[in-house]
A and B are shown apart, each in its own frame.
Chain A
């Protein structure tokens, strides 16, 4: 079983619509959670950290559910520029400084 699992998609979203997707993580001791964005053939870039109380950054909302061990990302009012692969990232509790990456969820926003 992978430590971090994501639906690979693609999620095809009309421009202006809302899209949401989850990822699950296996180690209940993980304490830090992130969403990264990766454009085709580019490096991953930090989109946002995910806090226990949930947090919002503009059109992006992240939620953490510790009991069920999943985190979610919601994108409102989708823009064409939101088309990318979104990586779910969790710290590896057994070793400081190490992260575990999901394989990514592809989002395609269409006009």
Chain B
């Protein structure tokens, strides 16, 4: 498995506050992804990065921003958290050679009250 860590692992925050989630990888994978997982929806892509400072939107990007200043770190920021952003957030890495395989971090459980 890729060495992927996420922090924090659990967070409870109030509506309207900004929140930043961190993903760190040690595998030097070019691509990094942020997903959210909610019951009945499966994994949905929020944003992804195909290199340092190169990012693009996924299917559910509204209310989220990302930054990637180093190959190993990918940050997800909820600019003003809402209750609809209560979810489990997974980071993933990929882009090893020509393979589409992705490897996931342990996830962050975020509750917005």
A, B assembled together: yes
A46, CB-defined interface residue at 8 Å: yes
Q: Give Cα A35–Cα B100 distance, bound, in whole angstroms.
A: 12
C-alpha gap A49/B1 in the complex (Å) = 15
In the complex, A50→B94 CA distance in Å?
17
State whether A46 touches B100 (Cβ < 8 A).
no
| Contact between A46 and B101, CB atoms less than 8 A apart | yes
Chain A: residues with Cβ within 8 Å of the partner, total of 18
Is the C-beta of B31 less than 8 angstroms from some C-beta in chain A? yes
Answer yes or no: B64 CB below 8 A from chain A CBs: no
With contacts A43-B90, A44-B90 taken as known, whether A99 is within 8 angstroms of B42 at the C-beta atoms is no
User: From residue 15 to 74 of chain B, which have CB atoms closer than 8 A to chain A?
Assistant: 31, 35, 40-45, 48, 50, 58
Residues of chain B within 8 A (CB-CB) of A99 are 100, 102
Instruction: Answer whether A42 and B106 are a contact pair too, CB < 8 Å, given A34-B101, A97-B31, A97-B100.
Output: yes
Contact B106 A43 (CB under 8 A): yes
Known contacts A32-B100, A97-B31, A97-B94; is A44 also within 8 Å of B43 by CB? Answer: yes
CB closest residue in chain A, given B49: A97
Identify the stretch in A65-73, A75-83, A101-109 within 8 Å (CB) of chain B at 4 or more residues.
Answer: A101-109
Chain A residue with the shortest CB-CB distance to B41: A103
**Do A98 and B101 form a contact, CB below 8 Å, given A45-B1, A103-B40, A104-B42?**
no
Residues of A within 8 A of B104 (CB): 43-45
A101 to B92, CA, bound (A): 13
The 8 A CB mask of B88-113 against A (1 = contact, 0 = none) is 00100011000111111111000000
Query: Chain A, 28-61, contact with B by CB distance < 8 Å: what is the 0/1 string?
Result: 0000101000000011111001000000000000
**A43 to B107, Cβ gap below 8 A?**
yes
A-B contact sample (14 more), CB < 8 A, given A42-B107, A101-B43: A34-B100, A43-B90, A43-B104, A43-B106, A43-B107, A44-B104, A45-B104, A87-B43, A97-B50, A97-B95, A101-B35, A101-B42, A103-B41, A104-B42
Chain B contacts to A: CB under 8 angstroms: 1, 31, 35, 40-45, 48, 50, 58, 90, 94-95, 99-107
